[in-house]
Homo-oligomer: A and B are copies of this chain.
Amino acid sequence: MSANATQAVRAPTREQCSARDAADTLAPLREQFELPPGIIYLDGNSLGAMPRTASARVAQVVNQEWAQGLIRSWNDAGWIDLPARVGAKIGRLIGAADNEVVATDSTSVNLFKVLAAALRIQAKRRPERNLIVSERDNFPTDLYVAQGLADLLNGDAGSGYQMLLVDGAEELEAAIKRDPALVMLTQVNYRSGRIHDMAAVTARVRRAGALMVWDLAHSAGVLPVELNASGADFAVGCGYKYLNGGPGAPAYVWVAKRHQDSFWQPLSGWLGHAQPFNFESGYRPAPGISRYLCGTPPIVSLAALECGVDSVLAAETYGGTFALHAKSRALTDVFIELVESSHTASDLTLASPREATQRGSQVSFAAGGALGNGYALMQALIARGVIGDFRAPDVLRFGFAPLYTRFVDVYDACEILHEILATRSWDTAAFHQKGAVT
């Protein structure tokens, strides 16, 4: 829906955008990244840009530590400490204390660990509880993993744990009243960018005697996240989005101190053992978060992740995640104003919260009318160098990583969008839908 009658006044000019970049204290942080010329990259919420340090660091891991150091590098180059070291750095971004986070495995695998741990805790405390509450529009892998675990635990009986998927805040509140075992939510919705109030939801869930599991995939690195302050029980998150860890970077897992020693999670691989190099036949979990390690982590990818996390930590001097979120809100506000300022965008409907405080660092528009489902429009944008992505069934998704996105980028992207829309220069027939990884 276009609202150009009122929006046109507010939409900034390119000069005004330039001025905002000049005044942006975070602007120098863009220099940390290698960005392709001629591209406006609005998909850092899916795959973060490459920090320049990652190139040299990965070369060092491969050409020196692996090729020359060989097996000695597990100790000499500190590979064995990487999951804890990178985890501790991520902890600074999500309100965790030292020694509460490890970086390893994928988000899906880590989620399996914490869901299993949470259900085990509840099986002891509140054995009658069998509901796993989540949102129908949570990122699907979270739902699939929870389904897989419930199915495994239920066995052939097919009864026992049940998924309860809700739509919207009212249904969530009603579900919490049904005494679930746990509630599993993603703080920022992958499609709409809507933010959950972590503290309020966690408090509500814990008052109901349920455990709270957060997925931070779309929040860590762009929002202030306060896990300990919120009282949350478990969290997982992704390394390759706003943490800029590279394609398929290892994920991370956080467990509240009060739970760490109460349970050994079922993916009990050797690196989670109290003494992995004793090669004992029986498992004894390591103290603390280390027991959430499983097998040997992919060191080359993990080293790149460390560079990515460092690129976010570099913002600490400038106000950290608070400053990053402030810039996100500003960038996304400008984008919405610019898109809606032209009648050409009348077939695009804002699919993210209009109120900036309720939005993560992305803006989605649902396509309709002459745009079809919008897939061809996104392809036309990409062909013109504006990279966002498409999420079925009809969502054009644009991410605004505040570390490297400028206000003029937002302006220029909207100019190109309006040109394409004005000239109707997309070809529905020429494009078929292909996937891209969130």
Chain A positions within 8 Å of B, measured between CB atoms, are 34-36, 39, 41, 43, 46-47, 49-50, 54-55, 58-59, 61-63, 65-75, 79-80, 105-109, 112, 116, 120, 123-124, 127, 136-141, 143-145, 147-149, 151-153, 155-156, 165, 191, 240, 246-251, 264-273, 276-283, 294-302, 304, 382, 387, 389, 391-392, 433-437
Contacts and interface: CB of A to CB of B under 8 A. Distances in A.
Q: Which of A55, A59, A251, A298 has the most CB of B within 10 A?
A: A298
A393 to B, nearest CB: 9
A49 B106 CA distance: 26
Contact of A152 (B34, B124, B153): B153
A387 B251 contact: no
Given A50-B66, A62-B304, A147 B109 contact: no
A70 B55 contact: no
B75 A434 contact: yes
A190 to B, nearest CB: 8
A61 B298 CA distance: 15
Q: Which of A69, A247, A281 has the most CB of B within 10 A?
A: A247
Given A109-B269, A140-B270, A71 B59 contact: no
Contacts of A268: 144-145, 147-148
Contacts of A116: 152
A435 B36 contact: no
Contacts of A298: 247-250, 298, 300-302
A106 B295 contact: yes
Complex copy number for this chain: 2
A212 B304 CA distance: 38
B136 A295 contact: no
Contacts of A75: 434-436
Given A39-B70, A106-B269, A145-B269, A295 B251 contact: yes
21 contacts: A36-B68, A39-B70, A62-B246, A66-B246, A71-B389, A72-B387, A75-B436, A79-B248, A108-B295, A116-B152, A124-B156, A143-B281, A144-B269, A148-B266, A240-B296, A247-B298, A249-B298, A277-B433, A278-B392, A298-B301, A298-B302
A270 to B, nearest CB: 4
A70 B54 contact: no
Given A266-B152, A270-B144, A302-B248, A71 B58 contact: no
Nearest to A110: B295
A282 to B, nearest CB: 7
A67 B34 contact: yes
Q: Which of A35, A152, A272, A300 has the most CB of B within 10 A?
A: A300
Nearest to A54: B62
A436 to B, nearest CB: 5
The 10 closest A-B pairs by CB, nearest first: A106-B295, A277-B435, A108-B295, A108-B269, A298-B301, A148-B268, A141-B270, A247-B299, A50-B67, A152-B266
